Amino acid sequence: MSRHWKIGVLIMALAATAPRASSAETAPADWLVTPVHTPVTLAHGGGGREIILSNGLMSRTFRIAPNAATVSLRNLTTGSEMVRGVKPEATITLDGQLFDVGGLNGQKEYGYLLPEWLDSMTSDPGAFQFTGYDTDDRPVCLAAEAISRGSALAAERAAAHPPLRGSCSSGSLSRRFSGREL
């Protein structure tokens, strides 16, 4: 019996006698098949400078000082982080002029984001500034009719990807921003 063959037989014997983990231990349940019953939570972090929203599948962290910006979007199933760069929450056009809504300046490298950089980042004085937020514990339900109103493109998308009927969240988070006089 050759040496390689003996090693192969030994590995197969060890694998056959090793305790097996159940599929529930090796992989989380598939949220497309198994309903997720984790409630949506809102927590504070970063010494009161962050709001963290989580639904058991994803978490989104907003840094709210010196201005509001998404600093983390994490897949809780895999642990992978999706934010690499901090940018404005939105850009809007008013009277033909572009304005940023929220965001932070001063990120050193946009290929990745280190949490220790956040404290040295600054707010753009020309951007709309975060002034506060409100929460509401009343359930918010999506109705297909509300989604399909608006542009033809929105109606086309709603028809192609209808929302789940009776799809409800356990509340809402509204963020407030103010801008300079035009």
| Higher-confidence position of 24 and 131 | 131
Read off the tokens for 154.
């929105």
- The vertex-42 CA angle with 100 and 30, nearest 5°, equals 100
What is the full DSSP assignment across 37-74? Answer: -PPPEEEEEGGGTEEEEE-SSEEEEEE-SSS-EEEEEE
pTM (two decimals): 0.65
Which range, of 22-26, 47-51, 97-101, 108-112, averages the lowest pLDDT? 22-26
Which range, of 16-20, 39-43, 50-54, 136-140, averages the lowest pLDDT? 16-20
Q: Is pLDDT of 113 > 50?
A: yes
Sign of CA dihedral 155, 144, 35, 55: positive
pLDDT of residue 173: 76
Q: What is the mean pLDDT of residues 132-153?
A: 62
pLDDT of residue 64: 95
Instruction: For 144-165, write each residue's pLDDT tens digit.
Output: 444 444 556 656 655 655 544 4
Mean model confidence pLDDT for the chain: 76
